[in-house]
Amino acid sequence: MLAEHRDGRVVVTQPAHAWLSGQLARAWGNERVGRFEPWEEVCLAAEQHDVGMTVWDRSPSLNTATGLPTTFMEMDLEVHLRLWTEGRWRRAGMRRC
């Protein structure tokens, strides 16, 4: 994600965004809005939902029009699907056969 800031642009990687999602999930719930179940599984899923982007975020492709890193919304569908498919193998520290 690219965010404009008064000092320039801030790049937030997808795994960093996912980690923040997990933290928000862990803080969810109060007297007016209950907690969700299964608690730990949903928090872990929120925290890990972009693990497939980790390797790509280290060396992203560039948007030729802007010269900035390609966002996940601009990414080719084929690349996006490959990253999501292979992400579970990377998370487990395994290689797909």
DSSP string of 75-92, one letter each residue: S-HHHHHHHHHHHHHHHT
Q: How far is the C-alpha of 94 from the C-alpha of 11, rounded, in Å?
A: 28
Q: How far is the C-alpha of 21 from the C-alpha of 68, rounded, in Å?
A: 24
pTM: 0.72
Is the per-residue pLDDT at 66 higher than 70?
yes
Is the per-residue pLDDT at 90 higher than 70?
no
Is the per-residue pLDDT at 68 higher than 80?
yes
Q: How far is the C-alpha of 44 from the C-alpha of 2, rounded, in Å?
A: 25
Kindly calculate the radius of gyration of the chain based on its CA atoms and give it in whole angstroms. Answer: 16
pLDDT in tens, 11-58: 888 889 999 999 999 999 888 888 889 999 999 999 988 888 888 888
